[in-house]
């Protein structure tokens, strides 16, 4: 793998498949993986558990500053409502600043790491050796999320999920701090027509091409 740590930065909108891809790449290359979205979900859950409004920026900033890794194991973080709540707290600059330091510590692992989120290649790890931007059509992302929720026994309409995804895309792209966008040197991977195995093969080819031989 060479002396330079292999940091793989994976960005993309909700339900693009970046999380599944990140986990598989981390396992394949023997690297630790961080789903950075869980950090924001954990902040949101901490705020709500303490009885504050999700729009209380001071409470969100305090939660981010004191976040510990154990919070990332809470199964409630996977609830659909937490995705919406996380998107809202992620627009708070103080939250992003606190979690930026958290993520950069994780990325500083000696052998490297795989991080997925929305500003990994642009802000968290701008010098990552590999940068991928995973995307897919909103309708396809909504279909995938709908299937995922059905498998978990959650009942919701496909239309409502699509509305959520479109709203989150707009909020994430328009926020003033670290908006969702592809890094200039990121490889764009559109998974609309790809299954998980095909997406993994395409991503692995990019990573292998960036590693020293």
Annotated binding site for ATP: 12-20
- Between CA 10 and CA 25 the distance in angstroms is 10
- Between CA 123 and CA 150 the distance in angstroms is 34
* Angle formed by the axes of helices 93-107 and 57-65, nearest 10°: 20
Alpha carbon distances (Å) from 157 to 105, 141, 146, 150, 173: 39, 14, 7, 10, 25
In the sheet that holds 130-135, the strands lie side by side as: 33-35, 112-117, 6-11, 130-135, 187-190
Which phi and psi (to 5°) does residue 192 adopt?
A: -55, -45
Looking at the DSSP assignment, which residues form a beta bridge with residue 190? 135
Residues 86, 40: contact at Cβ < 8 Å?
Answer: yes
- Between CA 179 and CA 170 the distance in angstroms is 10
Alpha carbon distances (Å) from 160 to 41, 46, 166: 20, 26, 10
The binding site comprises 12-20
């Amino acid at each position: 793998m060479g002396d330079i740590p292999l940091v793989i930065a994976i960005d993309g909108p909700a339900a693009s498949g970046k999380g599944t891809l990140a986990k598989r790449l981390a396992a394949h290359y023997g690297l630790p993986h961080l789903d950075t979205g869980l950090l924001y979900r954990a902040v949101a859950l901490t705020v709500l558990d303490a009885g504050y409004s999700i729009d209380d920026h001071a409470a969100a900033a305090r939660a981010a500053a004191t976040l510990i890794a154990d919070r990332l194991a809470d199964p409630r973080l996977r609830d659909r409502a937490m995705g919406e709540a996380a998107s809202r707290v992620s627009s708070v600059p103080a939250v992003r600043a606190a979690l930026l330091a958290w993520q950069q510590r994780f990325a500083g692992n000696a052998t490297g790491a795989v991080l997925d989120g929305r500003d990994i290649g642009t802000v968290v790890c701008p010098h990552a050796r590999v940068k991928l931007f995973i995307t897919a059509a909103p309708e396809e992302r909504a279909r995938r999320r709908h299937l995922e929720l059905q498998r978990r026994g959650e009942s919701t309409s496909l239309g409502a999920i699509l509305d959520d995804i479109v709203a989150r895309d707009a909020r994430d792209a328009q926020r003033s701090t670290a908006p969702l966008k592809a890094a200039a040197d990121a490889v764009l991977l559109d998974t609309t027509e790809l299954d998980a195995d095909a997406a993994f093969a395409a991503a692995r080819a990019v990573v292998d091409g960036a590693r020293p031989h």
